[in-house]
Amino acid sequence: MAANDLNGVRQRLGRKLMIISRKRFQLGDILLEKIGLGHGQVPVLMDLNRFGELGQNTLAEKAHITPATMSGTLKRMERDGVIKRRSDENDARVSLVSLTDKGKELAEKARELFLLMDEQMFANVPEEECERILGMMETVQENLEKAIQGGTHEKTV
Residue 37 lies in a domain: yes
Residue 14 lies in a domain: yes
State the residue range of the domain holding 39.
3-122
Residue 98 lies in a domain: yes
Residue 129 lies in a domain: no
- The model's pLDDT over 124-133, given as tens digits with 9 standing for 90+, comes to 999 999 999 9
Residue 137 lies in a domain: no
E strand segments, 23-94: 54-55, 83-87
Residue 13 lies in a domain: yes
Please tell me the pTM assigned to this model.
Answer: 0.76
On the question of pLDDT at 37 being above 80, the answer is yes
What CATH number is attached to the domain comprising 10? 1.10.10.10
Question: Residue 81 phi/psi, 5° resolution?
Answer: 75, 25
- The model's pLDDT over 47-92, given as tens digits with 9 standing for 90+, comes to 999 999 999 999 999 998 999 999 999 999 999 999 999 998 988 8
